[in-house]
Structure 1
Amino acid sequence: MRFSHQVVVITGAARGIGFATAQLFAAEGARVVLADLSDDCAAAGETLLAQGYSDILAVRCDVAVRNDVEALFHKVASVFGEVDILVNNAGITRDALFHKLTEEQWDSVMSVNLKSMLFTTQAALGHMLKKGKGAIVNLASVSGQMGNVGQSNYAASKAGVEALTRTLCLEYAAKGIRINAVAPGFTYSEMTKAIPETVVEAMLKKIPMRRGAEPQEIARAILFLASGDASFINGQTLSVNGGMFFS
């Protein structure tokens, strides 16, 4: 198993890409920490336990609040003692055309999608620097690469994720820590279920493969970048979008 006994912390892990990632890490022998603000977080952990995985910890956490994140990593340290891998997956949308966008919509998206990585990554680095190794995978988005109508806040936050990823690589590669990003395209999830069917159909026409991604397809890319198979990949953004955009 690629991740036997390694401790992985996954934010936004209650559903969608985050939960699919948690399942795959667990299947590969990892000790998995699911962090999410949703009340579904505990149920997600119970689901993994029911599937036969034993080293599972579910923690309700608002990643946009430093005290919550510090409490999360304190709990992880008390249960598992260390952190080997961090997956910064938590993200939200608050869509509106720019001239109608409110300050609250801008700030909430920036706080969850980008500012949260200040808190989680600093906490994880505290463990990784002591060990002299570690892997971090940040979730960017095709929206941050090509823009998307009604998502100026979301696109800006995800473009920031890519810039942050490159900068962290430069700062910590020599310390044995790899930091990469995955940029999903349209992915079937609870978030996308709220999109009108006509809008979804229009989006799918822009994808050469004529379909969206399943969460597991994004999760497999995350696992690859976190694994030893990607040992010389650092500071990169892996696009998983069915050919929708080339960077």
Structure 2
Amino acid sequence: MYQEQKTPLCEPFTADQIKDGERCELSEGHRIYCLPAGDRHSRHNLSGGTLIDTDPDVEWAGVDTGFTPKSNTLRAPDIAVAPPPAEEGEWVPGAPLLAVEYADKGQNETDLKVKIRELLAAGTRFIWVARLTGPQRVEVHTRDRPMRVLSATDFLEAPGILRNPVRVQALFDRREAHRVTLRNLLQREGYEDLEAVLREGKAEGLIEGKAKGLIEGKAEGLIQGALEARIEAIFSTLAVRAIEVDTET
């Protein structure tokens, strides 16, 4: 979440006191105001969310979805993958399986660390923090091992959540994100990739072409045979009537 800062409120809050659309999260009852995303942050939220949402094994994904692991905690990752919620229009109980955060300039690092700790403690298996400043890189946070940093050419994996590994570059580069999204959509339709679609198209075209050629060949042969038979019958009739036919006729 872009640019977070705690607001000086003394009274602790619970998640049910926060309404949909309010720009805040809760950490142990304390409100954390969340500013709107800038152009770069919002573009990455859209492309990154789309490529993750279209993964063939993802049943549900959301952007800025509020999760409530506890009554006094409300966290909204930039992108989240979770089982389909039981109710629509409500905060989602528990925590997402996978959370993605885009960290741009102005990111409150202290609150980000708290958010990561709270989500992991609540059951989130993977948290990917994509850094929009400096070299393209993603920090991978899990409960059972130290934080790892992957560069643009590395692959992110979330076994049991995503079917396909995600190249780090795809979380930053719009064109690469579109390529991954296309592959995911094709796999949802039963094709491994675009090459599989092209191969099937060529095979169908070959079969259709052969069938069409066979039908057209038979039809042409029948027409030609009928024409020759008719000409032969005409000549036979003329011969019976003793009518001579020369080349000019």
Normalising by structure 1, what TM-score?
A: 0.32
Normalising by structure 2, what TM-score?
A: 0.32
- In terms of fraction of residues, the more strand-rich structure is 2
